[in-house]
Structures are given as structure tokens and as C-alpha cells.
């Protein structure tokens, strides 16, 4: 028996999803990006050409390609082109500075780097800092600037047949870097099995269908937009409308213009839409499905959405990058009665709450949220110790603290290791603290999140100055901006003689959050 032929006939990897949709729906509109419009047949051909172009430049199965860009149709093409080759895509947050990007490039040992032309100077600086030697460099042309190789011909010229690389279910295809709770990001490995099992959960429990027309405005470097929504739309054969970002006026106009039926946004963006002057004068009657995540939606905002968008059903998706990323869902009929809840496990997920010894706890008791699911990551890239820690006792440990009620509904009550989620982005408090410790005159610092009416959580720093040193908030914030991406920098700085600590000397951030919870309303 030729096992290779059997494996070829049974292959169901990420790259196959686009091909099968193109065979079913070749003439259906797949992607709209400004004036660019691609049918599924055209999308498939572009991905195949791009895969051959990458192979011609030396990329092989198992290599890593980093991608630094705002949303565009080329982003989607590269995501599927790399999957067809078995090349690992490494999406990079475009808000990071050159030194932060350099760490990711070096840690992932990338062999290719594609960047949007406007971001090419930052990309070039990051490559120089990473000191990786010869790396394939491609440029996504938007404004026409830049000196790296234009990837336009990669998509439009050459062989448009499938590259024919055998990609197994659990061959890694992505390294998604997450701030996690460490001082440096961790590389989360995801395979076709992880992703496709997650897509099925999204489709079934998220009420998704091929008839959807969805606007994608949140960053595609983030697993939520890329893998709960864009890639699911490709799998189903739904139409994707791509925007460079969630600017409220453009987002509202796109929903009206494209007769969009579906929209995902974190609560901060939904709030910005509701507050925009164009909201009531825009025809949003086509919208039927709304999704949010990253944090709970304030109850008053839920009520307002129901009142002003009465035809829209809402879903709350909770999870994390390591779950590809969906874990639990709060469904439309549960939104008000279970407001603030993360819902119950999605189709392909099993969730429980455990104590510090990994024993299940009773309903109503707080513990760590853990999961079993094919969604789960293969592990952390080049970090066996953290992988073993995360998967102890045969469950994936989320690092979040939660509680379930008698009906199995999950509420996330805290981040076990002080993750801050601000505006839909994860910020590791330790990373910010380490940056602030570089400022002369800082004796001690603790970084934590406080409630904020727009950002949901705002990064806040409590600083103990060195004896005899006078610091002000502007100095601290300016220092942070010189070392960190803007969204990671403190929005509030408070000064204190000492930080609250428990008997073992650990800083009690819960007390800091309580003490300073009114800062956002006082400002």
C-alpha cells in the first residue's frame, strides 16, 4: 500500500479549504478591498501563484514567513498561500516598535518577511536588529513607496495550479505571538486540525453561513478576526469586505454600501459606532449578526444595541490565542439574562474550573479555567517548559480565573497572571513593568488594569520613586512610549510611598485595582 497516496486523498488542511470553496463557488465574490474584488476562483489562483513564487524564492515546508501589514486582500492571499506550502505564517502586530518586532523575527527564525510599504522602514530596522542574515523581503504595494520586492507579480503572474505539498492535519502552519503574561511574547503553534476544528465550532455555535457578507475591520494579525471570522468565511464561501481599520465612519459606510449582514468588533468599537454622528443616518438594516469579544459588553451598551439595532443578534466569543482562539460562547438569547458571562463551551470544547492542584471545583467556586479540545495549540514554539506547564494534567491551562454557575455558564473573574485587555489588545503587565524599571528614579512599579468607559480596561502604573527623586506622570509615560507600543503604555500613573504586598512579599494588585478604580471617571 502506498501510504502517501492515501494521505494525499485524505488531506484536509487549511490550504485545501480555499480550493474546495473555489470548486463549489468559483464565480462568487470572495473578497472586496476598496476597488479590488476577487471571486473565489480568482482568490484561489492568486494564492497558488503566490505559493509558487515563495517556493521559487527558496521557501519550503516548515519555514517561517513574517507578515507586517494593515488589513488588505494580500494578507488573506498570503495566509492561504503559506498554508498550501506548509510554511508557517507569523502575523506581526503593526503597532509594535522595531525592537519588539526584532524579538519575534529572531525567536521565530524567519526566512521571509513581507511588509506593507508604509511599514517597510520599521520592518527594515527590525530585520537589522534581528541580524538573521539573508531573508526574503517582499513589499505589499499600497502607496507605491518602498524598495523591497513588490509582491504584486507574486499574486498575478506564473503557475496558478496547486503546489501539491502534502500537509498533514497537525503540521504547524502558524506561529501567533501573544503577550501572554510574560515579559516576552510566546509563539503559539497552530495546525490545520486546531484551526478547522475551531472553524466548525464558530460555524455551528456562531450561526454562520455561506450567505453572510462580513466587514472585517479589526486587525488580521489578531487570531479573532483572522480565524473566527475571515478564514471561516473562506471555508463557507461567504463574502469578506476588508477595511484597513475600525474607523467608525468608514465602518458604518461599508456596512451600508456592501449591504453587510455580519460584523465582529470588541466592545470599544461597538461603543464608538453607537456614539458616532453617522450612526442614525446610516442604513444598517442589512446587518443581522453581531459578535464581540476580548471583554464583556457593558449591560447598558447591550440594551442600547438591542434598542438601536433591533434586527441584530449578538454573540460573545471568549477564548485566547492558544485555543485558535474560541473556547466558549454566549448566544443571542442569553445576552441580557446572562450579561457579563462568557457563556458555555463551544461545540468542540470541554471546559472546567480547577484549583491549584488541578482538582475540579464546585459551581460557584473560583479557580483556573482549563480546556480540552482539538482547538488547542500544539504548544509554544521553542519552549518545551512552558508547553509542559500549560498542558499539565492533560488539560490546557488558560491562566484566567473563572467561576461557573449551576447551569454551566462561565464568568471570567480575573486574569491569573494579571493580563490587561485594553481596546481588544492583550498587554502583559510584567512587560510594561520591566520597561518602566529602566527609568532612572523608579524604585518599584506595579502595572494593572482599571475599568475605563472606552477602552474597557486602561493600563495603569503605580510607581514608588527612589528616595529623594521627584517624578511626574508625563516622564513615566514618555519613557514608556520610547520602549513600548503605544497601546501598552500607561494611560494613568499614580505615585505612592509603598506598594501593597502579602506576607510573602508579592504585590497585591487586586488592592491596587480597587484603590484606583475611579481614576477614569475622575479624569
Report the topology of domain 11-347. Answer: Rossmann fold (3.40.50)
For residue 379, what are the β-bridge partners? 189
By the 8 A CB rule, do 426 and 178 touch?
Answer: yes
- Dihedrals phi, psi of 359, to nearest 5 degrees: -90, 140
Q: Could you read off the pLDDT of 384-426 as tens digits, one per residue?
A: 999 999 999 999 999 888 899 999 999 987 666 667 888 888 7
d(CA 76, CA 114): 13
Q: In the CATH scheme, what is the homologous superfamily, with its name and number, of domain 419-522? A: ANL, C-terminal domain (3.30.300.30)
By the 8 A CB rule, do 126 and 106 touch?
Answer: no
Judged on CB neighbours under 10 Å (0-12, 13-18, 19+), 237 is buried
Q: Could you read off the pLDDT of 171-217 as tens digits, one per residue?
A: 999 999 986 434 588 999 999 999 999 999 999 999 999 999 999 99
For the segment 334-340, the average pLDDT, to the nearest whole number, is 91
Angle, helices 429-436 vs 473-483, to 10°: value is 110
For the segment 119-148, the average pLDDT, to the nearest whole number, is 94
Q: What stretch(es) of the chain map to CATH 3.40.50.12780?
A: 11-347
Residue 490: closest CA among 521, 445, 442: 445
d(CA 326, CA 345): 9
For the segment 142-155, the average pLDDT, to the nearest whole number, is 92
d(CA 497, CA 233): 53
- Please report which confidence band the pLDDT of residue 523 belongs to, taking 50, 70 and 90 as the band edges: low
Of all helices (H) and strands (E), which one includes residue 216?
Answer: strand 213-216
What pLDDT, on the 0 to 100 scale, is given for residue 490?
96
* CB-based contacts of 228, cutoff 8 Å, min separation 6: 198, 202, 206, 264, 291, 293, 317, 325, 326
* CB-based contacts of 326, cutoff 8 Å, min separation 6: 198, 201, 202, 228, 317, 318, 319, 346, 349, 375
d(CA 402, CA 408): 12
Mean per-residue pLDDT over the chain, rounded: 93
What pLDDT, on the 0 to 100 scale, is given for residue 444?
83
What pLDDT, on the 0 to 100 scale, is given for residue 414?
63
106 compared with 181, residue with greater pLDDT: 106
**Buried-state track 12-51, b at ≥16 Cβ within 10 A, e below 16:** ebbbbbbbebbeebeeebbbbbeeeebbbbbbbbbbbbbb
- Please report which confidence band the pLDDT of residue 501 belongs to, taking 50, 70 and 90 as the band edges: confident
443 compared with 118, residue with greater pLDDT: 118
Q: Report percent pLDDT > 90 for the chain.
A: 80
DSSP category for residue 228: I
- Please report which confidence band the pLDDT of residue 226 belongs to, taking 50, 70 and 90 as the band edges: very high
Q: Could you read off the pLDDT of 446-490 as tens digits, one per residue?
A: 899 999 988 989 999 999 998 899 999 999 999 999 999 999 999
Q: What is the pTM of this model?
A: 0.85
What pLDDT, on the 0 to 100 scale, is given for residue 181?
39
Q: What stretch(es) of the chain map to CATH 3.30.300.30?
A: 419-522
Amino acid at each position: 500500500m502506498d501510504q502517501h497516496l492515501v494521505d494525499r486523498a485524505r488531506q484536509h488542511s487549511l490550504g485545501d479549504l480555499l480550493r474546495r470553496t473555489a470548486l463549489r463557488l468559483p464565480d462568487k465574490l470572495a473578497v472586496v478591498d476598496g476597488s479590488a474584488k476577487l471571486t473565489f476562483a480568482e482568490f484561489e489562483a492568486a494564492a497558488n501563484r503566490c505559493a509558487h513564487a515563495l517556493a521559487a524564492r527558496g521557501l519550503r515546508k516548515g519555514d517561517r514567513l513574517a507578515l507586517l501589514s494593515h488589513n488588505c486582500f494580500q494578507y488573506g492571499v498570503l495566509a492561504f498561500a503559506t498554508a498550501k506550502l506548509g510554511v508557517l505564517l507569523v502575523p506581526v502586530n503593526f503597532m509594535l516598535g522595531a525592537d519588539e518586532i526584532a524579538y519575534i523575527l529572531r525567536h521565530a527564525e524567519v526566512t521571509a518577511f513581507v511588509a506593507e510599504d508604509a511599514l517597510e522602514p520599521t520592518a527594515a530596522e527590525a530585520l537589522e536588529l534581528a541580524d538573521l542574515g539573508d531573508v526574503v523581503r517582499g513589499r505589499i504595494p499600497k502607496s507605491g513607496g518602498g524598495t523591497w520586492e513588490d509582491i504584486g507579480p507574486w499574486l498575478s503572474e506564473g503557475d496558478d495550479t496547486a503546489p501539491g505539498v502534502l500537509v498533514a492535519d497537525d503540521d504547524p502552519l502558524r506561529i501567533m505571538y501573544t503577550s501572554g503574561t510574560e515579559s516576552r511574547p510566546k509563539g503559539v503553534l497552530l495546525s490545520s486540525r486546531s484551526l478547522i476544528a475551531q472553524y466548525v465550532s464558530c460555524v455551528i455555535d456562531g450561526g454562520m453561513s455561506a450567505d453572510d457578507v462580513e466587514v472585517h475591520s479589526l486587525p488580521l494579525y489578531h487570531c479573532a478576526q483572522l480565524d473566527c471570522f475571515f478564514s471561516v468565511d473562506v471555508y463557507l464561501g461567504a463574502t469578506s469586505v476588508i477595511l484597513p481599520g475600525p474607523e467608525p465612519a468608514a465602518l458604518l459606510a461599508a456596512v451600508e454600501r456592501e449591504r453587510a449582514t455580519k460584523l465582529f468588533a470588541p466592545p470599544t468599537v461597538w461603543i464608538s459606532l453607537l456614539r458616532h454622528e453617522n450612526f442614525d443616518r446610516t442604513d444598517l438594516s442589512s446587518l443581522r449578526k453581531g459578535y464581540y469579544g476580548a471583554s464583556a459588553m457593558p449591560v447598558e451598551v447591550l440594551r442600547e444595541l438591542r434598542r438601536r439595532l433591533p434586527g441584530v443578534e449578538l454573540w460573545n466569543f471568549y477564548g485566547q490565542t492558544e485555543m485558535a482562539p474560541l473556547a466558549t460562547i454566549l448566544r443571542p438569547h442569553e445576552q441580557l439574562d446572562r450579561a457579563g458571562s462568557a457563556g458555555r463551551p463551544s461545540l468542540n470544547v470541554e471546559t472546567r474550573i480547577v484549583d491549584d492542584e488541578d482538582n475540579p471545583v464546585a459551581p460557584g467556586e473560583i479557580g483556573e479555567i482549563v480546556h480540552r479540545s482539538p482547538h488547542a495549540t500544539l504548544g509554544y514554539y521553542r519552549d518545551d517548559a512552558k508547553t509542559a506547564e500549560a498542558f499539565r494534567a492533560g488539560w490546557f491551562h488558560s491562566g484566567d480565573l473563572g467561576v461557573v454557575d449551576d447551569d454551566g455558564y462561565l464568568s471570567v473573574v480575573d486574569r491569573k497572571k494579571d493580563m490587561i485587555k485594553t481596546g481588544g489588545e492583550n498587554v502583559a503587565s510584567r512587560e510594561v513593568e520591566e520597561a518602566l524599571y529602566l527609568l532612572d528614579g523608579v524604585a518599584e512599579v506595579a502595572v494593572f488594569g482599571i475599568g475605563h468607559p472606552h477602552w474597557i480596561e486602561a493600563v495603569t502604573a503605580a510607581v514608588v520613586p527612589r528616595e529623594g527623586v521627584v517624578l511626574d506622570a508625563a516622564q513615566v509615560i514618555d519613557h514608556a512610549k520610547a520602549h513600548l507600543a503605544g497601546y501598552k503604555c500607561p494611560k494613568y500613573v499614580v505615585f505612592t510611598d509603598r506598594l501593597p504586598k502579602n506576607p510573602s512579599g508579592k504585590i497585591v494588585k487586586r488592592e491596587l485595582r480597587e484603590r484606583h478604580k475611579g481614576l477614569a471617571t475622575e479624569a
